[in-house]
Structure 1
């Protein structure tokens, strides 16, 4: 059984690794071109419709300094998945602000995974299966073992940095 599971996981990993990064497709629900599946940050922030709001919002967002100091102390080797829609207004607003927070924390880019979904909030090859994505953006924090610590769905309850702090404090 263990061998079967290991082989299955390897096949899934190979499918994900073989995926085209920053794949552009036409979304029938929104009748526009979107990004789908795994994305790089560079691919995301240069995608025309997303870039339009990204640059000014990223520049304008100022994370709360006191919250950031506290948050910085708690970050270790967590992993963050960002599930977004390049067509989605909430994604266009909150993703740039979230990246501003991550950059201020000097969060390692290799520990961040970006996945774009279509208008049905689906991606290909099962890369978001089991994540229970209902709204986007969804920011999911995982510990180094892959256990979910918490998530921010669509928009923060207070601020992105305060909501992240609440997730990291639960980890203790």
Structure 2
């Protein structure tokens, strides 16, 4: 069943989350190298900051993922680096880990384990198909956009973030 992500709200997020610093500390052995080596595009970061300041808006981001997921170990630390590099109180990032695959799922059912995953993973409003997934909201908790697993081909996470802001903020 496909859902309309535009109905998703920040308030639909009910599970405990990790702050970027707590995430980096908890998963340091897996993510430190990816975090430290990522060099976001400074001009894109400046454009994100200017966009938020000009609109007098705050951006809220939640990343859904899992510690077993190689793409999460690459892209979640990159998003943390982006947010920390923007260096503004206008961007909030929370990380929700613990998504588990149900190896016995039937065709048409969610691939995520209903009992072992956070409820957001199986909540149809989130329409979670791959991880990591980054959901973007304005300061009022209204959905702005999503990045699923990777940035678009030839793009970066910060470029896709700016595109979401330019289209929807």
TM-score by length of 1: 0.69
Root mean square deviation, CA, Å? 2.4
Count of equivalent residues: 137
Which ranges in structure 1 are unaligned for 5 or more consecutive residues? 1-11, 22-37
Tell me how far apart the structure 1 counterparts of residues 141 and 129 of structure 2 sit (CA, whole Å): 20
Shift of 1:40: 3.6
> Relative contact order (C-alpha < 8 Å, sep 6+): which is higher?
2
**Deviation readout 1:125-146 (Å, 9 max, x if unpaired):** x345221111111111111222
Q: Where do 1:3-14 residues align within 5 Å?
A: none
* 1:112 paired to 2:89: no
Q: Secondary structure at the match of 1:86?
A: coil
Tell me how far apart the structure 2 counterparts of residues 88 and 136 of structure 1 sit (CA, whole Å): 7
Which ranges in structure 2 are unaligned for 5 or more consecutive residues? 1-11, 102-111
Structure with the bigger percentage of strand: 1
Match of 2:45 in 1: 68
TM-score by length of 2: 0.70
Aligned pair partner of 2:130 in 129, 135, 139: 135
Computing the radius of gyration from Cα coordinates, the structure with the larger value is: 1
